[in-house]
Structure 1
């Protein structure tokens, strides 16, 4: 823990972590808020899953593109534009009654306009700390972001059940405005300039570690999305049980990230962490009691933040600085496609088989998430004793003869 303490004393680190956490906090609320709101309006978890899928597909499509735009137009311009559009469309979902296709259309636009805060801050980090501090910083960030998933579901469930599902969404929109403005106004956002990439969009996926991180992120978040829907279906939205269980799930991730963040990243790191996630989810299939589910999901959560930290580190160590934002955009796209498919699969299985169907889907995603890095070990960089900073960009230098 002393290592994290010294890291937070580095100039600007604590502030930028806090700002990006608040800016991203609404996205720990919106999935559940959309699920509760659309299910209440339509009476169907399947319909709610389709709306969540539309939002996730929009985010997935925009991720690499808006991340790449930051290297062309600058971070601040891209962040302001996307923030405004996202807030407007999210607010419309809360305030306007419409059929399911209408909700899906607005959710798609809100997803397309999701501010690329995560790629931005992942690109900023290597410019704020030295090479030895970078991997612990990724771990601290992955752990700290679990605050979003601990408090987000609880706050959303409380507001949606006690005040109204529309206010669950509107609260997220208000936090989005405040957090987005705070992050955008941070000095690092204007100080760090992403060089324009010389590669065609998508070329960065040819690097095996980036592709590995994208696929495993897709499966990990797919498992989490299916699990979230399953917990909500198990307890309904009349009380706080669903939010509390999901909060404890994320608390396990926070604990795991802080406990395992100092461990050097070897070639088996990702498979080991994903096995923890799979084991906890697989056992949870057999329980519907809030206490027992909280215990099994806490165990599953222990592997999540450490797995995410590994994804961030192997991407950073494998690409040039000019490609980092796009690489993280693709990783985010993989995660969002996973969220879309996980939510949609869980919604359909809940309608057909009850809440346990979502847990089946989550376990299947998590098992594949363990199997892929196990079989793809040779693509996993060994970062033990290595610098996880991005590869420096080089360019020809003109030499004038005298």
Structure 2
């Protein structure tokens, strides 16, 4: 913990971390709010899963593109545009009476305009700390983002059940605008300029660590999305139980990230951390009783933030600085496609066989992540004793002779 305190004393680190966490706070509310709202309007978890999947697909498509735009146009311009359009899309979802296809179109547009805060801040981090501090900073970031998942589900569940799903979605819009403004005006966004990438779009995915981080993120977030749908369906959004159980899941992740953040990242780090998630989700299938489910998800959560920290570190260490934003955009895309597929599969399994189907899907996603990480273990870089900073960009230098 002393190391984390030193990190937060580094000039600007605490400020930019607080700003980006606030700007990203709606990400912990939006999926659950859309799920509750569309299920309330249509009476079908399957329809809600489709609308939620449309949101995630929009985010997935936009991720690498808007991240790359930041190198061409500047971070602030891209963030301002996407924040305003995303806010308008969520407001439309809340207030407009639409059919399911109509909701899916609006959700897709809102997803396409999701502000690329995550790629922006993870591109800024290497310029704020020394190489020794970077891997712990990624771990701290992955851990503290769990505060979002601890508070946000409880907050949005409370608002949606007590005031209604429409006020819940409008609350997200307010936080999105406030948090986005705070992050956009942060001095660090003016001090760091992302160089224009000279590679074609998608070329960065030829780097094995970036590809593996993207696949692992797809499977991990697919698992968590399925679990989220399963928890909501188990308690039928009749009270705070769903939000509290999801908060316990995130508390486990926070504890795991802070507890394991100092452990050096070797080739088997991803497989070991995803194995913890798989075991916990397998236990969650045994019983839908709240105490058992909470305990199982607490165990599963211990592996989530540590696995995310591995993804961030191996991505940063494998690409040039000019490609970091796009690389993190692709990693985010993998996670969002996983969320889309995981939530859609879970929604249909809930309609067909009940909430346990969603937990089975989550456990299957996590187990597949362990298998992929073990089979392709040689594709993961060994960062023990190595610098996780991006590779410096180099240019030809004219020499006068």
TM range (shorter): over 0.9
Q: Superposition pairs for residues 358-377 of structure 1, below 5 Å?
A: 358-377=358-377
Unaligned runs of 5+ in 1: none
Runs (4 or more) in structure 1 with deviation over 3 Å come to none
* CA apart distance, 1:53: 0.2
**Aligned equivalents of 2:104, 2:373: Cα separation in 1:** 34
**Aligned equivalents of 1:19, 1:287: Cα separation in 2:** 39
Partner of 2:26, secondary structure, is helix
* CA apart distance, 1:291: 1.0
Q: Superposition pairs for residues 219-258 of structure 1, below 5 Å?
A: 219-258=219-258
Is 1:262 equivalent to 2:291 in the alignment? no
Partner of 1:262, secondary structure, is coil
* CA apart distance, 1:312: 0.2
Partner of 2:25, secondary structure, is helix
Q: Superposition pairs for residues 106-117 of structure 1, below 5 Å?
A: 106-117=106-117
Partner of 1:29, secondary structure, is helix
**Aligned equivalents of 1:338, 1:255: Cα separation in 2:** 24
Is 1:80 equivalent to 2:74 in the alignment? no
**Aligned equivalents of 1:17, 1:373: Cα separation in 2:** 30
* CA apart distance, 1:168: 1.1
Per-residue CA deviations over 1:225-254 (Å, capped at 9, x if unaligned) read: 000000000011111100000000011000
State the match for 2:382 in structure 1. Answer: 382
Is 1:63 equivalent to 2:63 in the alignment? yes
Q: Superposition pairs for residues 246-325 of structure 1, below 5 Å?
A: 246-325=246-325
Q: Superposition pairs for residues 20-169 of structure 1, below 5 Å?
A: 20-169=20-169
**Aligned equivalents of 1:392, 1:364: Cα separation in 2:** 39
* CA apart distance, 1:96: 1.2
**Aligned equivalents of 1:167, 1:142: Cα separation in 2:** 29
**Aligned equivalents of 2:333, 2:216: Cα separation in 1:** 12
**Aligned equivalents of 1:371, 1:236: Cα separation in 2:** 33
Partner of 1:11, secondary structure, is coil
Per-residue CA deviations over 1:25-70 (Å, capped at 9, x if unaligned) read: 0010000000000000000000000000000000000000000000
State the match for 2:199 in structure 1. Answer: 199
**Aligned equivalents of 1:85, 1:67: Cα separation in 2:** 16
* CA apart distance, 1:337: 0.2
**Aligned equivalents of 1:296, 1:358: Cα separation in 2:** 14
State the match for 2:344 in structure 1. Answer: 344
**Aligned equivalents of 2:371, 2:167: Cα separation in 1:** 41
**Aligned equivalents of 1:168, 1:368: Cα separation in 2:** 35
State the match for 2:177 in structure 1. Answer: 177
**Aligned equivalents of 1:39, 1:148: Cα separation in 2:** 23
Partner of 1:85, secondary structure, is helix
State the match for 2:394 in structure 1. Answer: 394
**Aligned equivalents of 2:325, 2:367: Cα separation in 1:** 29
Per-residue CA deviations over 1:229-286 (Å, capped at 9, x if unaligned) read: 0000001111110000000001100000000000000111000000000000001001
Q: TM-score, normalised by structure 1?
A: 0.99
**Aligned equivalents of 1:388, 1:247: Cα separation in 2:** 31
**Aligned equivalents of 1:203, 1:374: Cα separation in 2:** 25
* CA apart distance, 1:369: 1.0
Q: TM-score, normalised by structure 2?
A: 1.00
Partner of 2:387, secondary structure, is coil
State the match for 1:330 in structure 2. Answer: 330
* CA apart distance, 1:95: 1.0
**Aligned equivalents of 1:262, 1:146: Cα separation in 2:** 17
* CA apart distance, 1:121: 0.2
**Aligned equivalents of 1:52, 1:259: Cα separation in 2:** 33
* Residue correspondences, number: 401
Per-residue CA deviations over 1:360-393 (Å, capped at 9, x if unaligned) read: 1111101011111111110010000000000000
